[in-house]
Every structure is written in structure tokens, then in C-alpha cells.
Amino acid sequence: MARYLITGGAGFIGSAMARKLLNKGHEVHLIDLEDRIDLDREKLLGAHLHIGDISKMEVFSSLPREKFDVAFHMAAQTSARISEENPELDIDSNVKGTYYFCKWAREAMVRRVVFTSSMAVYGSHGDNINEDATIQPVSVYGITKVAGESFIRILSQESIEVYIYRLFNVYGPGQDYHNMKQGMLSIFLTQALTTDTILVTGSLDRYRDFVYIDDVIDALLTCESDKNSGGIFNVGSGKPTTVKQLCNTIINKLNSSISVVEVGSHRGDVFGNYANPRELYALGWEPSVDLEQGIETTMKDAIEVLSCK
């Protein structure tokens, strides 16, 4: 049995990782805000819950002194739109929070640190992005993720194994369907289920790389592979999907009369990008859930959560 820490452990990706590790019989500690933990307490049974804000160093003092085998740093403000509306929130959570996490990891002598970064660090780079692409963030969110990566990299000087995973558009059951500022697929799906209109910010020709939550968890756990000695990894399907294709797939699966309306875009939103996850491919990872299957599973979860008929 190993001991794990997950910051942001009550979030979409963090809670999925927690359940995976708990099912394997590991000791799992989570840090998250009280309102986030209260939403998912039933799903987090068996985990050690630590309530607090990572932008305040004292939250880490509640952790046990025993050494952690792996620490996943997932806590962050993850909406590019919110980051433009309230950049101070990004700076507190994504910059200060990551700094304090690194300070704790160094003092606690954590063996392995895993950081969930974002495709936002690449900015407007579009097609087949590999890990050597130039870092050119165009949003506050992307800038804070670049800063986070820099703090994390310094830990390698302390004999800590460092793994940075740049996530593309993660989706799947467990997303927050009530949050209309985060997660393109979940936003469109919620709108389609609760109204007769999907509101699209920007062009229908924009495109994204959608990767299913289970595949993302498997990708993050490659940090424990004997073949993996650390580094930077893109996590994506390697396939572009236009906004128009995404909307049509949702509408066809619902078999409903739903309008698609284009509205104004927002600053920091790139036109399109998709990953070349070559470093993960080299480790034997590849996505196993295609978009059609993933949307169908996510739709069933959304219908249950939103109590739609």
C-alpha cells in the first residue's frame, strides 16, 4: 500500500483519481475547499479529507508527517474565461498555491510529484502539438500554468521525481454540469438537455482535442511505470474535433430539435489545437474511449445529475 496526496481531490479529475487509488487499497489524502468536499463526500469515502485553500500555507500543516510516495497537484482555477474576468483568483490558486505545494513537497521529501498542467501553455499553436512546441500562452490561465510548471521543475533539484502532464480538453462523467464557464463539452451538453439551444462562443469551425476522463487517469498513472523517469507529457486524443462536429454529435444522440447559435468569443480563447502525445505513446499509453462512446456515457451521467427526462 502506498500513500498519496491529491490537491484538488474533490474536483472532476482529482476525485476520479482518488476513487481509482482507493479501489486499489492505497492510503489517499485529499486537500480541497469545504464546499467542494461537501459536494462529493459520498464519492470520497475512505479518503482522508483535509479542508483548506492551497493559497494559504497552513493547509499543508494538517497532513501527516509520514512520507508520501506520490503527490498529485491538481488544485487550480481551471476556467480560461474566469481567469480573464478575475485574474487575481488564478494568481492566488495557480501561482501562490503551487508555490506553497512545492514548499511542502520539498520539506516533506515527497518521492514523486505529478503536476496537471494545461494545453493553454502552448497558446495559439494549433495542429499536432508535441512537447517541444514553443510555450506562448495567450491567457492569464496559460501564464499561471507556465509559472506552475517552473515551480514544479525546481523540485527535481531536490532529488524529487517530477512529472508534468499537459491536459487537453478532458471530459466525462463527474463534470460540473452547472458550471457554464468551464468545459466546452459539458456546457453544450447541459444546454442541450435543459434548453432548446446550444450557445457557441466563437466560430463553429474552431476545434479541440477531447480526451475521456478514464484515459486521462491512466495517463497520469504512467508516472509509476518503470519506463518513466519523469518529464513533460501531452495528454490528448491526438484528434481534432470541430465545435460543429461536437454539437451535431450531441444533437444526434439526443434525437431532439436543438438550435446552435454563435455568440461573441472572449479574450484568451484560442481558435484550435490538438495534441501529439508522443511521449505517452512511447510508454505504451493510448486513448481507449472514442468521442462517440464518451459522449454517450457522459450524457447518461448528465441526465441523471440534471434530472432530465
Model confidence pLDDT, tens digit, residues 177-191: 998 888 999 999 999
Its pTM stands at 0.95
Share of the chain above pLDDT 70, in %: 97
pLDDT of residue 90: 87
What is the tens place of the pLDDT at every residue in 244-281?
Answer: 999 999 999 998 889 999 987 766 578 899 999 999 99
Hey, what amino acid is at 238? G
DSSP helix/strand/coil, 112? strand
- For residue 67, tell me if it sits in a domain: yes
Containing domain of residue 264, as a range? 173-209+238-273+289-306
Do 196 and 225 have their domain in common? no
State whether 79 and 127 are in the same domain. Answer: yes
Chain-centre distance for alpha carbon 191: 21
Nearest-CA neighbor of 32 among 13, 57, 63, 53? Answer: 53
Residue 161's DSSP bridge partners are 112
On whether both 205 and 215 belong to a single domain, the answer is no
For residue 145, tell me if it sits in a domain: yes
Query: Do 152 and 29 share a domain, yes or no?
Result: yes
Q: Which domain CATH number covers 247? A: 3.90.25.10
Do 63 and 141 lie in a common domain?
yes
70 and 201 co-located in one domain = no
Q: 72 with 142, same domain?
A: yes
Distance, in Å, from the CA atom of 135 to the CA atom of 137, rounded to the nearest integer, reads: 6
How does residue 309 score in pLDDT terms, banded at 50, 70 and 90?
Answer: very low
Are residue 250 and residue 101 in the same domain, yes or no? no
Pinpoint the alpha helices (H) of the chain: 12-23, 34-39, 80-85, 87-90, 97-108, 140-154, 184-194, 213-220, 243-254, 278-282, 291-306
Do 150 and 38 lie in a common domain? yes
Question: Do both 64 and 201 map to the same domain?
Answer: no
Here the cell at position 246 is 461536437
* Pair (30, 159) in one structural domain: yes
- 1, 22 in Cβ contact below 8 A? no
Q: How many domains does the chain have?
A: 2
Q: Is residue 280 part of a domain?
A: no
Mean pLDDT of the chain: 93
Give the percent of the chain with pLDDT over 90. Answer: 81
Tell whether 279 is covered by a domain. no
Quick check: is 192 in a domain? yes
Domain match, 222 and 97 both: yes
> Confidence band (pLDDT; 50, 70, 90) for 83?
low
According to DSSP, the residues that pair with 171 across neighbouring strands are: 212
Q: Which residues of 168-193 are buried (b: 16+ CB within 10 A; e: fewer)?
A: bbbbbbbbbbeeeebbbbbbbbbbbb
Q: Find the helix or strand (DSSP H, E) in which 4 lies.
A: strand 3-7
Asked whether residue 242 is assigned to any structural domain, the reply reads: yes
CATH (domain of 39): 3.40.50.720
